[in-house]
Amino acid sequence: MAARALALGAGSVLALAVLAPLGAVIWRAEGVAALRAADLAALRFTLWQALLSALASCLLAVPVARALARRRFAGRGALVALMGAPFILPVIVAILGLLAVFGQNGVLSRVSLALGGPRLDIYGLHGVVLAHVFFNLPLAVRMLLQGWLAVPAERYRLAATLRLSARARFRVLDAPVIRAVLPGAFAVIFVICLSSFAVALTLGGGPRATTVELAIYQAMRFDFDLGRAAALGLVQLSLALGAGALALWLSRGAGFGAGLDRTTPRHEPPARLDTLWIALAALFLMLPLGMVVARGLPGLMSIGADTWRAAGHSLLVALGSTLLCLAWALPLSTPRGAWAGLAAIALSPLVLGTGLFLMLRPFVNPFAWALPVTGFVNALMALPFVLRILTPEAQTIRQDFGRLRATYGLTGRAWLLNVFLPRLRRPLGFAAGLTAALAMGDLGVIALFADPDRATLPLQVYRLMGSYQMEAAAGAALLLMALSLGLFWLCDRGGRVDVGA
């Protein structure tokens, strides 16, 4: 009963956090403006690239995650941890890193030229999808991996005892995991790609790759047409919730029953292609990250006091966001909650920021509130990912141990502390790590709230670039990546101390 009230409360806060800023913008605009013909073209491209990006990320994630679940090798832990990195890079840094590898003057083009081949042409729809896969493949892999690791080891032993064929193993053991996790991962990635802007434009090679978010930016910052921005924001929100509903419907039911939490080695034969998949994924993700490191190293020397202070602010924001986000997510970790959570990233950051500004402005000084607002928005933005990660396992725990709880008549507190949280610690650690890392990297909405003395690290990267300090900016970006990864690793590690994963 209390749990339901808590879920309802957390859900209401979420709805309020999304709808109130949108409402504030519509109210200020005195209505919603009609869309233009160019907006419809942008909408078509936005949908198409988001669909392709989410499909590619999810399909590629299956063999990679399967291989990582089956294989044990030196550096596997590090590889899995590094998978958090692409996701958290500031957009501008990720673009430079990607193009340093795939661009016309990138590593691959230079190799190709040296071998007498042509320059690589990355710019176009394929470039947009490639960049989005770079950001989101690791996320999908981690979600699937989490799903496979949650399958009790007993089931694998049983499958080995029964000498199931590869096909039967897939049907009995793998397919249910994929079905439980992938639709949700697809929905989250689809929605995050819906609000892509700078990446889509740059990798897309020009105005052919215009997204709805760019139109919102133009309306907000250039035309000051809040009515049009609000209309576009509404379109984005409905698309996202539609995609979420579809995912919710697709991912019904799955379950292996409870196991004994054995860490005995799994009895399953590694497939021949596993090594290839892992190597390809590692190369694809590590090359651009390597370029970010290589570009940043010379700049590390020129990191000034401002940048260190910004790093401190970012750490502070990250910790606050993580606590807030987890407290928010736990009561919502049901399929329906995870669906509602999508709304948090479905709303354009620009609309959200402007709405919050309009709401807070009559009561407080927005500048003084720069860091708390950033922390709150980051928690909100991370919520859908955290829910996606927590929900499948939280549901399983409720199903598998609900009888135990009823038999012993456990109090809510005893259930939470002795059963629910301990069993949830692995996804909880991953979720905390992701939130912390996301909150380090997110620039999001603070353009309206910026304060000279309270810059966060991503903002500092932009400021340095704006003053021709490309090298110092690359150094600051490397610092950002290192700190984010450190946080991610700490939390993630904390969640799976005694698990051989």
Minimum Å gap between C-beta 61 and other proteins is: 28
Q: Is the dihedral of CA 139, 144, 149, 150 positive or negative?
A: positive
What lies within 8 Å, CB to CB, of 169 at 6+ separation is 159, 268
Report the length, in residues, of the chain.
Answer: 501
Binding mask 103-142 for other proteins (x = CB under 8 A): xxxx----------------x-------------------
Among 135, 156, 190, 197, binds other proteins (CB under 8 A): 197
Segment near other proteins (CB under 8 A), from 98-106, 136-144, 336-344, 423-431?
A: 98-106
Q: In whole angstroms, how close is the CB of 252 to other proteins at the nearest point?
A: 40
Dist CA 164 CA 145 (whole Å): 22
Kindly identify the residues of this chain, within the stretch 381-440, that bind other proteins according to CB under 8 A.
none
If the CB atoms of residues 30 and 498 are measured against other proteins, the closer one turns out to be: 30
Pick between residue 103 and residue 427 the one whose CB is nearest to other proteins. 103
CB 130 within 8 A of CB 149: no
To the nearest whole angstrom, how small is the minimum distance from the Cβ of residue 368 to other proteins? Answer: 11
The residue count for binding other proteins (CB under 8 A) is 61
To the nearest whole angstrom, how small is the minimum distance from the Cβ of residue 29 to other proteins? 11
Closest Cα to residue 481, out of 86, 15, 145? 86
Residues 442 to 481 in contact with other proteins, rule: CB under 8 A: 446-452, 455, 459-460, 462-470, 472-473
Binding mask of the shown chain, residues 292 to 311, with x at each position contacting other proteins by CB under 8 A:
---x--------xxx-----
H-assigned helices in 330-369: 335-341, 343-346, 349-360
> Which lies closer to other proteins via its Cβ, residue 423 or residue 463?
463
Q: What residues from 3 to 32 belong to the interface with other proteins (CB under 8 A)?
A: 28
Query: For other proteins, which is the closer residue by CB, 215 or 340?
Result: 215
Closest CA to 291 of 96, 148, 156: 96
Contacting residue, 77, 205, 372, 486, with other proteins by CB under 8 A: 205
Q: Per DSSP, which regions of 323-434 are E strands?
A: none
> Which residue of 89, 96, 145, 188 would you call a contact of other proteins, by CB under 8 A?
96
225 lies in the binding site for other proteins (CB under 8 A): no
Asked if 162 interacts with other proteins (CB under 8 A), we say no
- Residues 363-392 touching other proteins, rule: CB under 8 A, are 365, 367
3-state helix, strand, coil in the chain (%, to 5): 75, 0, 25
Q: Do the beta carbons of residue 431 and residue 385 sit within 8 Å?
A: yes
Phi-psi map region of 257: left, alpha, beta (phi>0 left; psi -120 to 50 alpha): left
Please classify residue 357 by burial: count the beta carbons closer than 10 Å to its beta carbon, then call 0-12 exposed, 13-18 middle and 19+ buried: buried
Candidates 241, 245, 238; CA nearest to 212 is: 238
The nearer residue to other proteins, 333 or 469, going by C-beta atoms, is: 469
Residue closest to 156 by CA, chosen among 7, 303, 265, 13? 265
- The SS3 call for residue 424 is coil
Q: Quick one: DSSP state of residue 361? A: T
How near is the Cβ of 189 to other proteins at its closest, in Å? 22
Backbone φ/ψ region at 3: left (φ over 0), alpha (ψ -120 to 50), beta: alpha
Torsion of CA 280, 285, 291, 293, to 10 degrees: -130
| 232 lines the binding site for other proteins (CB under 8 A) | no
Q: Which is nearer to other proteins, 218 or 425 (by Cβ)?
A: 218
Smallest gap from Cβ 432 to other proteins, in A, equals: 30
Compute and round to an integer the Cα radius of gyration of the chain.
23
Contact set with other proteins (CB under 8 A):
28, 38, 92, 95-96, 99-100, 103-106, 123, 197-198, 201-208, 210, 214, 217-218, 220-222, 224, 295, 304-306, 354, 357-358, 361, 365, 367, 446-452, 455, 459-460, 462-470, 472-473
